[in-house]
Structure 1
Amino acid sequence: MSTSTLTTWSLEMTAPSDLVAAAVPGPEIRIVRSEVPSPEFSRFLYASVGGDIHWTDRLSLTRAQWVEQLDRPGVETWVAYDRGTPAGYVELDPQPDGVVEIMYFGLLPDFRGRRIGGHLLTVGIERAWSLAERWPELAPTRRVWLHTCSDDGPTAMANYLRRGFKVFKEETEEKAVTPTPGPWPGA
């Protein structure tokens, strides 16, 4: 079995003023909150965005486990649409202490490289900072963070840095090389 080096970076933003907003790519791009938790839709987004970049941690979850994850107070999914077609998403996962993790963020392969990602990330960060306004039971956001790795898309890290995130941790490990599951794992 062959191995490769995997680097994981953790990035953070500690004030809303750290955000450097990206330009809106055009009027055909809309970003909408998916207000009704839907395990099927979320799994579609997860598998479609992450299928070619080794997202596998949620593929084995049962429907009940998806419901449990999505139905927690403050968990939000914001979806970018290009003329009605889902183009990508950002999932926010709040912690009880005012920390919000951008749990998942990305675009479906056909929508990458079209300047949608910077705009979607901008909206996701803005929504992370304003989460307690929509969820009064949550503490006000004091920190937004995420992690990315060398398996993610080639422009992911640059997008995070351009939006104002700062790296606070870097880890490197050897990982077994496995094929990507693709957008239809097991099909």
Structure 2
Amino acid sequence: MSITVTTWSLEQTSPDDLRPAGHFPAGVRIVRAEVPSPEFSRFLYTAVGGDVHWTDRLPWTYAQWSGYLARPGVETWVAYENGTPAGFIELEAQDGGAVEIAYFGLIPAFRGRRIGGELLSYGVARAWDLAERWPGAEPVKRVWLHTCSKDGEHAMDNYLRRGFRLFATKTDEEPGGTAPGPWPGAHPAV
């Protein structure tokens, strides 16, 4: 069985494009994971993406995770609610002064609590100033991402509200099936 998946690519071309969400919910803080940790990054990847079919990194070995996370310009920013990881945004510096928001999302139990807009706002601001943290990096000229019809129902609206503009759309057929989830019986999608 296959499913039709639409992928949208969005971008900002100036820091002035960012429209912040507003105020952090009480008890929420965002911290950069400065020590590359394949275990922690894989946990975030599966906990956030398990119910929305993130599968591309599931076969990665420990060495692949380590190599990716150690690259200059790769950053993971984690939202915590009262000390518990709630979600993350992963930034990846690219040639030409671009920064991709490689992954962004919340663990299902934390969705619908007004954390996503704040995490995205904060992460986009960190994408725009990423070169300041990486000596020798090109100044950032563009922040971009892609989202798809498998992502959460509010994903596209959040991106548009933060000032992203659509620049490409494509539709593909992908294998269907049950989302892997972080493990059987994990918190269901909201």
Asked if Structure 1 and Structure 2 have the same fold, meaning a TM-score greater than 0.5 normalized by the shorter chain, the answer is: yes
1:37 alignment counterpart: 36
Q: What is the rounded CA distance, in whole Å, between the counterparts of 1:47 and 1:58 in structure 2?
A: 9
2:135 alignment counterpart: 136
1:156 alignment counterpart: 155
Residue 103 of structure 1 deviates from its aligned partner by 0.2
Residue 175 of structure 1 deviates from its aligned partner by 2.1
Deviations 1:4-62 (A, max 9, x none): 21100000000000000002232300000000000000000000000000000001000
Identity %: 64
Residue 131 of structure 1 deviates from its aligned partner by 0.5
SS in 1 for 2:21: coil
1:113 alignment counterpart: 112
- Name stretches of at least 5 consecutive residues in structure 2 with no aligned partner: 185-190
The answer as to whether partners of 1:51 and 1:180 remain within 8 angstroms in 2 is yes
Q: What is the rounded CA distance, in whole Å, between the counterparts of 1:24 and 1:82 in structure 2?
A: 14
Letter paired with 1:114? R
Is 1:7 the counterpart of 2:6? The answer is yes
Residue 74 of structure 1 deviates from its aligned partner by 1.1
**TM-score, scaled to structure 1:** 0.96
The answer as to whether partners of 2:25 and 2:114 remain within 8 angstroms in 1 is no
2:170 alignment counterpart: 171
Residue 96 of structure 1 deviates from its aligned partner by 2.6
Letter paired with 1:38? S
SS in 2 for 1:49: helix
2:187 alignment counterpart: none
Letter paired with 1:148? T
Deviations 1:58-101 (A, max 9, x none): 01000000001000011100000000000000000001321000
Superposition CA RMSD, Å: 1.2
Letter paired with 2:101? I
Q: What is the rounded CA distance, in whole Å, between the counterparts of 1:131 and 1:79 in structure 2?
A: 16
The answer as to whether partners of 1:96 and 1:138 remain within 8 angstroms in 2 is no
1:99 alignment counterpart: 98
Letter paired with 1:102? I
Pairing of 1:51-90 with structure 2 (within 5 A): 51-90=50-89
The answer as to whether partners of 2:12 and 2:164 remain within 8 angstroms in 1 is yes
Letter paired with 2:67? E
- Name stretches of at least 5 consecutive residues in structure 1 with no aligned partner: none
2:22 alignment counterpart: 23
The answer as to whether partners of 2:5 and 2:174 remain within 8 angstroms in 1 is yes
Q: What is the rounded CA distance, in whole Å, between the counterparts of 2:80 and 2:114 in structure 1?
A: 13
